[in-house]
A and B are shown apart, each in its own frame.
Chain A
């Protein structure tokens, strides 16, 4: 009898260990594949940005986009993860909490006792690169590459992740003090990237030929609309990885959000597709333009992103329409101000992001947050203000410094000639006579 009991106890212990490992590996594998899917976002941004450029700048735009990704990765390793862990309380770092994110920490490399740090770092690195790519599209065809890289690193490895520490962290002050809720990062990713781009665009100025002397705007058309539209659809594909990375796989119980409330992937499945569709349909109604239809799809997702975990699906559909409306009219508004946003990034990410954050306050107030304040419109308003300021101010200030130094924008001669012919040792369309002077 004792022998049988001992055997059963040994089997139970082995079973427990096996289940524990299965859980650990499953969590790790889930975020691995989310990260892989998020790389598709960058394939999409690359196609979109090159397609949106004119022929004479197509490779320079591609180089800029690829390098944003490449420079954000190591810099996010050097400093980004530490910022995320150290700053949930505001602007004063918590060195004890942040220690695990320092690049010399034992958690920041292969470690058999830690199956979490690397995979979460990777997922957040892809979020970081996404913010840099959002900014990248807005400034094509006239920004200096080296200055762009500095600004992209500042956004991807410092600014947005500080916003994530405030607005996308279980101890972030916006949650603990205001009951902020933003499941899909409409604030810390999209608002910050969109308004950071706006701050830079003000100092960068429009492309030559964009505006006439009377202030009216010319349409500097994408050289390859099908490529740009396909790129936008690829971004949508990648967003399923992005949104998967927004939910916490606990392994032994129900999914939760970063804010601690229970959630299901089913909820995200319902609402993501509904707001995606709403965004396309609304943008089609407003513009009839396939470029804006697919941009509307993105804006539709951002319009409902904060509440993808809780919305009734038809509400998400309508909020998708609202996000697309905010994007289209937002883009038209800034163009009327004489600001040249080549791909509508400020409208799609900034304005639709604000819409989404505030709409959550209107339509989803009152959800409990444990010991923290429940969700409310005021909490969303405070968070929206913080995200706007955190995006716009650094973008404006640092691009102003680069502008004063005379290194923000390429020379007029190179802009007229085309950036590809000026500095790229390759041709996009060699049989076609590329680099047509403006």
Chain B
């Protein structure tokens, strides 16, 4: 996590955590967030339509 570099001299990939484990963790969290958002949206939608039928 944090800066992967100690100097800007000859720096290349400098995004947070580059070369370490955390980018993979955040990638999986981002994928999970997309999936969870979709599932929550689906459940809200189903609930709303059930309410209409009541």
* A contacts, CB < 8 Å to B: 71, 74-75, 78, 103-104, 106-107, 109-114, 144-146, 149-150, 407, 410-411, 413-414, 417, 422-423
Contacts and interface: CB of A to CB of B under 8 A. Distances in A.
A414 B49 contact: yes
B30 A106 contact: no
Contact of A103 (B27, B45, B49, B51): B27
Interface of B is mostly: helix
Contact of A111 (B14, B27, B48): B14
A74 B19 CA distance: 21
Contact of B52 (A104, A112, A407, A417): A417
A407 to B, nearest CB: 8
Instruction: Give me the 8 closest cross-chain CB pairs, A-B, nearest first.
Output: A109-B15, A146-B42, A423-B48, A106-B13, A113-B12, A110-B15, A111-B13, A414-B52
Nearest to B17: A109
Contacts of A78: 27, 30-31, 34
A75 B31 CA distance: 8
A113 B31 CA distance: 27
Given A109-B23, A111-B14, A423-B48, 5 more contacts: A78-B34, A111-B12, A111-B15, A411-B49, A411-B53
Contacts of B42: 144, 146, 407
17 contacts: A78-B34, A104-B27, A109-B23, A111-B15, A114-B12, A144-B45, A145-B45, A146-B41, A146-B45, A149-B38, A407-B42, A410-B49, A411-B49, A411-B53, A417-B52, A422-B52, A423-B48
Contacts of A111: 12-15
Contacts of A407: 42
Interface residue tally of chain B, by bracket?
20 to 34
Contact of A413 (B30, B34, B38, B52): B52
A58 to B, nearest CB: 17
Nearest to A407: B42
A106 B19 CA distance: 8
Contact of B18 (A71, A109, A144): A109
Contacts of B30: 74, 78
Contacts of B44: 423
B12 A423 contact: no
Nearest to B31: A78
B13 A109 contact: yes
A110 B45 CA distance: 38
A48 B42 CA distance: 25
A177 B35 CA distance: 39
B38 A146 contact: yes
A12 to B, nearest CB: 23
Contacts of A71: 34, 38
A424 to B, nearest CB: 9
A74 B44 CA distance: 22
Contacts of A149: 38, 41
B12 A112 contact: yes
B38 A110 contact: no
A398 B48 CA distance: 24
A60 to B, nearest CB: 10
Contact of B49 (A74, A110, A422): A422
Nearest to B34: A74
Contact of B23 (A75, A104, A145): A104
B16 to A, nearest CB: 8
B49 A104 contact: no
Contacts of A110: 13-15
A413 B24 CA distance: 45
A274 B4 CA distance: 52
Nearest to B53: A413
Nearest to A150: B38
Contacts of B53: 411, 413
A435 to B, nearest CB: 11
